[in-house]
Homo-oligomer: A and B are copies of this chain.
Amino acid sequence: MITALAGGVGAARFLQGLIKIVPEKELTVIVNTGDDIQLHGLHISPDLDIIMYTLAGIVDEEKGWGIRGDTFNCLELLQKYGYETWFKLGDRDLATHIHRTSLLKGGLSLSEATSKLCQSLGLEVKLLPMTNDKFETHIRTDKDTVHFQEYLVKRSAQDKVIDVVFEGAEKAQPAPGVIDSILNADTIIVCPSNPIVSIGTILSVKGVRDGLGKTRAKVAAISPIVGGAPIKGPADKLMQGLGLEVSAYSVAYLYRDFLDVFIFDNIDRREKKRIEELGLQAIVTNTIMKSPRDKVQLARAALKSVKSR
């Protein structure tokens, strides 16, 4: 059994490769919900949606999010009605948010709603939100404090980051299955996702970091930082804001207490020694996933690394 910790696009691409070499049923994915946001009365879970759409084969591959070929007619009229429309809600995509919101209103937990969505989309993978409780990532900029989505999408990650705040983290309980899937896995893979706002959020949920320390599973992480910058997203800006070096090493350092293996890109091979000095097995390989083949090869390298250890 494999358990993965995942954010959005980078994780989804990696998992696309992984499900080609392991049966979906053997895979549990714990997904960041710190990006979740209420918009227009709807509950939106961006990372859960990205993972779902990608693994269901309906994602807009070019953007990495949303549904392929979606239209934006509802959003257009919402704009006329005076709504802020920086969050690009497609018409098909809306069905997911309407369904999830309706299930939550009906008394289901986010876990249960996610399970129903996955079932409808034909997924065999088990997707677990990290928590069913309110947990919101806020970014403190030099001007104000805003929801992560507002920082990222509305303001295009242009603001100077002073701090990252996990609203609700202290009270948020892990969703059912989260701790079990960590303790009982054979292998745990930390996907190439933002170490602060995707993996950092999951790690801050009660019991997760402890569980990763206690589990007898081998734990491998893949660096989302390649050549000193993230493949996608604002990880560099957030890391800099928190006074961290933006490097593969820096990610390994953040995970050092629970990690066995750290996988990072060929381009960063000169960091191997520093990473090994953290007590980790350091695997250098191609981590840039352009083609389906890249994804499968990276997944294979990750699985091999924990077996060969």
Question: What is the copy number of this chain in the assembly?
Answer: 2
Q: Given that A41-B105, A98-B40, A101-B41 are known contacts, is A91 also in contact with B120, CB under 8 Å in the complex? A: no
Q: Which one of A67-75, A161-169, A227-235 is at the interface?
A: A67-75
Are B71 and A102 interface neighbours, CB within 8 A? no
State whether the Cβ of A244 lies closer than 8 Å to any Cβ in chain B.
no
Q: A91-B91, A92-B77, A94-B94 are in contact. Are A83 and B70 (CB under 8 A)?
A: no
Q: How far is the CB of A8 from chain B (nearest CB, A)?
A: 20
Q: Are A95 and B77 in contact (CB-based, < 8 A)?
A: yes
**A117 CB within 8 Å of chain B:** yes
Q: Contact size class for A?
A: 20 to 34
A95 to B81 CA separation, bound complex (whole angstroms)? 8
**Cross-chain pairs A/B with CB under 8 angstroms, 18 sampled:** A40-B102, A41-B98, A41-B101, A42-B98, A71-B71, A71-B73, A74-B94, A75-B95, A76-B92, A76-B95, A77-B95, A80-B95, A81-B96, A81-B99, A81-B116, A81-B120, A91-B91, A91-B94
Question: A73-B92, A81-B116 known; 12 other A-B pairs, CB under 8 Å?
Answer: A40-B98, A41-B105, A42-B98, A67-B77, A71-B71, A73-B91, A74-B91, A77-B92, A78-B99, A80-B121, A81-B99, A82-B120
